[in-house]
Amino acid sequence: MTVEAPAKLNLSLRVIRRRDDGFHEIDSVMVTLPGLHDRITITGADEDRFECDEPGVPTDGSNLAMKALAVFREETGEMDPLAVKLEKRIPHGAGLGGGSSDAAAMLRALDTHFGTKLGVDALVELAARIGSDIPFFLGPPVGRVLGRGEILEPGPELPELQVVLLKPSFGVSTPDAYRRWKDAPAVADVDFAPQVLDWGELVNDLERPVFGKHLFLAEMREWLRARPEVAGALMSGSGSTVFAVLEDPGKAGEVISAAKEELDPTLWAWSGKTGSGVFQAPEGMPE
């Protein structure tokens, strides 16, 4: 059984407040990147095995995909041993939701493999137990995410957007970004105002604390915004990926080449299209 786990972008991310439970209340429009995905394969085995083709990715119970397996077993009682293979294409610590998407994909794969037919509402409930953003990856490609990330609502109807993603060699700590969100000072010469486009706006409240610690990300975003091919640019999630929405889909290669030449030759880069459409909450999905 093989399933794909797509990356995501936050087209908008508003942090509302820090909750009493330690999580932060957010309001975010998220969209998948169908062309950028991890892949999970599960097969029956004599004993549990988990392997990943990317060094440094944990293969123990701290991995979100393995947490998904544990929660699924607790819920269903299905204890047959499995061999799990995770093929990583989504960078780690990038703000692209790779780990969360892996967990959601694992739940979908297990539900199919064991024929448990839990349904979307039950899978979403299991996903919310594991992590904040995981429920999003069990729905359509566009959605508005609320609460700590477990509540899904209809998002704006979006066209396919041609995007370029750039990520430096370092990652960003999500807990650290949220911890410094409220009191982060402004960064000189960086405009944090929403960027209004035809279909909506680009805005991310975590840019201020992250840019204050990783100035290169601010420089990269401003460099992208100054390009004539770019309609808008934003950091995704807590970073360290910065993405650009292109005016001309045919210019992606030029933007990437220029970024590597002018900013950093070691940048990880990807170009492709976002998912499109409008979110329709499945029956039983919590609101």
Which amino acid type is present at position 193? A
Contacts of 89 (CB under 8 A, 6+ apart): 36, 37, 38, 39
Determine contact, residues 43/79, Cβ cutoff 8 Å.
no
3-class DSSP string for the chain:
CEEEEEEEEEEEEEEEEECCCCCEEEEEEEEEEEEEEEEEEEEECCCCEEEECCCCCCCCCCCHHHHHHHHHHHHHCCCCCEEEEEECCCCCCCCCCHHHHHHHHHHHHHHHHCCCCCCHHHHHHHHHHHCCCHHHHHCCCEEEEECCCCEEECCCCECCCEEEEEECCCCCCHHHHHHCCCCCCCCCCCCCCCEEECCEEEEECCHHHHHHHCHHHHHHHHHHHCCCCEEEEEECCCCCCEEEEECCHHHHHHHHHHHHHHCCCCCEEEEEECCCECCCCCCCCCC
**Which of 8, 67, 88, 167 is flagged as catalytic?**
8
Please say whether the beta carbons of 4 and 106 come within 8 A: no
Catalytic residue among 38, 102, 111, 133: 133
Please indicate whether residue 85 is annotated as part of the active site. Answer: no
Q: State yes or no: cis peptide before 240, omega within 30 of 0.
A: yes
Clarify whether 133 is annotated catalytic.
yes
**Catalytic center residues:** 8, 133
